[in-house]
Structure 1
């Protein structure tokens, strides 16, 4: 009879000591240590065979004492339940985590690979498959060599499955954060690789060996969108390991684009925004038992006569607009107006004043005309773009898409900015005519 698989609860990048940004609240419910407590409770409730932490457990060295209490309490509870915890140090806690490991009173806590080496420990479930866990830790904040170059040939065992744990940058050969390649990981005789450093959850390969970035337990800033939470890994001899995401984070960040072209008045704009926030929060709640708070970064789009009103409205929403759904709430972290004025270009272009000249140019660009006016305009645009691209201040971004957009993207930007300028010119013309 085959042994039951070893069940590991895995998470990375806790950053204990850090508080998420943009939540417009200092409630402890959103703090990382509270989510860590809930994860410990879940691990005990599910009676997992082990917990793996893939580095950056502590946010920074000067936070180590703030992290000590939550870490020690969690490790003690897991130890009392007979659940071992295996961790590696990352670039943020290369110094702090080893010090904390010496300070905590937790017999079942194993920090592997101190000082840039490799270490191993075997997790032995009472009624399941023993699994060897091998891991490597940062010895300083920046390490440019691949840790796999120093992995001992005899470290992965032949008599039981092996799980590798690294805090590393995948397929980024010039990285200073322990670069490793996916191909090199696949060549190792292990059942799974559990990686830290990237905060976005990502199952990079579900084949054998499984390669997983569990991501941060609780998202920490608005760039970390989507569901977060621990992963359940199951490892058994002669079988492919499996990974299941458990979206249990109390907080979730999302980017929402809301089109208000159909709005006739300001109330319609607000309804469109609150409806979109409510719908997204309900979708998130259907994916798991959380989040309790959805933090939205809004972009308002569409051609509308309410363009100026929208520009004023978006300034009032951050920190103020809240949309409840049962015991959860969606809030606005930031809002940006990307609407365009509702203008009749053909009618405006019939005149001879500056707004008419601009409207004629925008129509010519829209229709992709190839007359002298359009060619001169594109030449001026390209010259302006080149001056930005060649500026020393933008050298790090020179090869990015933002500084080298294609013609279609650039035309859309020109149209959008041109319409905004046209709206401003017309408002100035109207103001002069009423003086």
Structure 2
């Protein structure tokens, strides 16, 4: 049996290792698009901070790790996939056959349609090549403008701030991290970041970028123009699926997969940021582009590809973020559901925030800022879909009593099922 894994990020690596463990004699080929060892994109900010070197981003530290596991590595970018012929073609002309294929090509940055977005000095922060360029340009005192204050943008923001640059952030939403935080929580993060010396423009777009004698001029929709040395585009990502257009594989936003990570072709699977699975909370389709989800999907796909029986329960939305020392998190349906209830505690002065979302007597979502207390409990209540009974009213009066509710209602439900 020949297993080909297209993509060598966390999902690809985990799948390759599990396949090898379950099928010691099978052939495994793993294809990476960058000419560097498999690495974690989430480690790039730590590289920019100077905490680690490039080797610190590598997913496996032993340079002979994959060789020892007899996992063949190939460098190349996919040009097309032919499910009927069971082969894929790379841009360099190579053609690779497969019995089972896992597509784990992740995401690619979204480039906004802005005049000047392709100028030198404008970079995404996604690849190792991007990181190398940014390290050269983002020096202490450099004027840097970052477009985007979403989850990835806030991680990059922290790395840039640590390099001592003069940083301005532009976000088109009405708050920071708008796809992860409520209005109050996102506004609280903005206030925190500004107190740390970062300028933040919300409800603002970059309209154009031009060159000057000494750098770049950035025109904003609020009427301001800023001269900078470097522009970072962190306006989001999308599944890397363009090369699959003629494959016949069913795609919406990402590659549609079932509970076993199987695509519309029975011998082709997908995992990670490229896969569109089922949302745990809603039962609807979702691309849940977070590393824990990628790892779980890779595990399920690898088991299925080697004849095992394993199914996903659905992807739970989980976001945990450290923004210049302020921890924030959101789980499940953090923005609430139609017909639901909510309660929130707000302490703007202490940067403390807690909001719980209910549907009936079940906790379906939560948002926290400035605390990590009971994060595991909140996740457990949501993922367990635990009926809280009278505890719901208690929590509506005092949402900090989630641990008591979990111990009582959770144990009662466990005993009932046993």
* TM-score past 0.5 threshold: no
Structure with more strand by fraction:
2
Higher relative contact order (CA 8 A, sep 6+): 2
Relative to the length of structure 1, the TM-score reads 0.29
Say which one has the larger Rg: 1
Relative to the length of structure 2, the TM-score reads 0.30
Structure with more helix by fraction:
1
